[in-house]
Amino acid sequence: MEQPVIIKVDHVSMKFNLSSEKFDSFKEYVIKRIKGQVAMEEFWALKDVSFEVRKGDSVGLIGLNGSGKSTMLKTIAGVLKPTEGAVETTGTIAPLIELGAGFDMDLTARENVFLNGALLGYTRKEMNHFYEDIVGFSELDNFMDVPVKNFSSGMVSRLAFAIATIGIPDILIVDEVLSVGDFQFQEKCERRIHNMMEKGTTILFVSHSIEQVEKICNKIVWLEQGHMKCYGDAYEICNEYKKS
């Protein structure tokens, strides 16, 4: 039996207004903006993109830098509202979109675990239950009382991934987070993602490593300059992408 649609992207376009000139200070920008002297250029990061994701699918978004991958993920996660079109999602979403997003860098790793848990909708009691698993998975046992501002990018990545993958969310969104850190930890993350997929979690995945995408994903959305070039079987599209 065909699984239900859990994500529906319906003719989504996203426009950003970019200043066509540089300013030496924020004050200069505000003064010129008030006087109407700031020229803005339209930039369409996404243009008329439509696709559906079914429950249990693992969908990789591929394309060159600037193709709209991260913007698409932020739109699905609800971080950005599309200029045109609509996105519909079903169930809980665990977003891993930007390294350290949601962290207070002045707080310790332990404090950030509970802060991020609250942002994801978990109670303190639930986070107490998950805490040891988060520490064990991140392998940061000796650093939980250290402020996160003293962490390397790899350590932040470990902690962020460990928090985002507690429980079994309906949708897990991963954007380039696995590109940070050592090879062994990347493999550990891949195993956890596969485990979540087996339990029914739908995955949206962005990585510069096409090999990583092939290992994790069964479907591909190929974006090119904000337009969707194609959507379909991961094996076929990845082979085509490697030839391009």
The DSSP secondary structure of 147-203, one letter per residue, reads BGGGS-HHHHHHHHHHHHTSS--SEEEEESGGGSS-HHHHHHHHHHHHHHHHTT-EE
Name the stretches of the chain with pLDDT < 50: none
pLDDT at 179: 65
Is 79 exposed, middle or buried (CB count within 10 Å of its CB: 0-12, 13-18, 19+)?
Answer: middle
Per the listing, tokens 């200043």 go with 19
List, for residues 32-56, the tens digit of each pLDDT value: 667 766 666 788 999 999 999 999 9
Question: Is the entire prediction scored with pTM above 0.75?
Answer: yes
pLDDT at 29: 64
Neighbours of 36 (CB within 10 A): 7
pLDDT at 23: 65
pLDDT at 38: 63
3-state secondary structure at position 146: coil
List, for residues 180-216, the tens digit of each pLDDT value: 567 788 888 888 888 898 999 999 999 888 988 998 9
Q: Which domains does the chain have, with CATH numbers?
A: 52-243 (3.40.50.300)
